[in-house]
Amino acid sequence: MTAATAHLVLIGMMGSGKTVVGRACAERLGRPFLDTDELVEAAAGLPVPEIFAAEGEDGFRRREAQAVADACSAREASVIGCGGGAVLDPRTRSRIRQAGFVVWIAAPPATLAARVGSGAGRPLLAGAPPSAELERLLELREPAYRDAAHAVVDSEGRSVDAVATAVLDAYAAHAEQP
Ligand code: S3P
Mean predicted confidence (pLDDT) in 51-61: 97
Atom of ligand 1 nearest to the CA of 123: 10
User: Coil, helix or strand for 32?
Assistant: coil
Strand order in the sheet with 100-106: 33-35, 79-81, 7-11, 100-106, 151-154
Q: Give tens-digit pLDDT for 128-166.
A: 888 999 999 999 999 999 999 999 999 999 999 999 999
On the question of pLDDT at 3 being above 90, the answer is no
pLDDT at residue 69, as a whole number? 98
**Ligand 1, pocket-test mutation among 124, 136, 140, most atoms within 8 A of CB:** 124
CA–centroid distance, 121 to ligand 1, in Å, is 9
- Which residues make Cβ contacts (< 8 Å) with residue 67, sequence separation at least 6? 36, 37, 39, 40, 43
Instruction: Tell me the C-alpha distance between 14 and 83, whole Å.
Output: 8
Give the pTM.
0.96
